[in-house]
Amino acid sequence: MFEFRDLFQWDRFITPTIIKTFYWLVIALICLFGISGIFSGLAAMAISPFGGFILLLSSIASVVVGVIFSRIAAELILIVFRINEHLGAIRDQGSGH
């Protein structure tokens, strides 16, 4: 867990700790926009059934794609920090000999 004093020290990164929170916020926003798109598609079906159906399908597909891409982006950020930790461990092993 990260503490308030970690914001003013550069010994430890805080991004790996808070990236999970940002991930869940992005997922919530994607779901809200998806629900909005679904309701828009249902409302558009009253005017144009085919156009509303296409909007409905594209809203559902965009939610699925958005969730997948946000997970990939969060994992890429975490991988960069994990690589940094492993390189630091390798450096510490090499300096001890």
- Give the residue extent of every domain in the chain: 15-92
pLDDT at 14 over 90: no
* Least confident residue range of 6-10, 15-19, 73-77, 81-85: 6-10
Across the range 78-86, mean pLDDT stands at 89
pLDDT tens digits, one per residue of 15-57: 777 898 999 999 999 999 999 999 999 999 999 999 999 999 9
The pLDDT of residue 84 is 86
Between CA 58 and CA 51 the distance in angstroms is 10
Between CA 89 and CA 83 the distance in angstroms is 10
Overall residue count recorded for the chain in this entry: 97
3-class DSSP state of 2: coil
User: What beta strand segments (E) does 1-97 contain?
Assistant: none
The pLDDT of residue 2 is 59
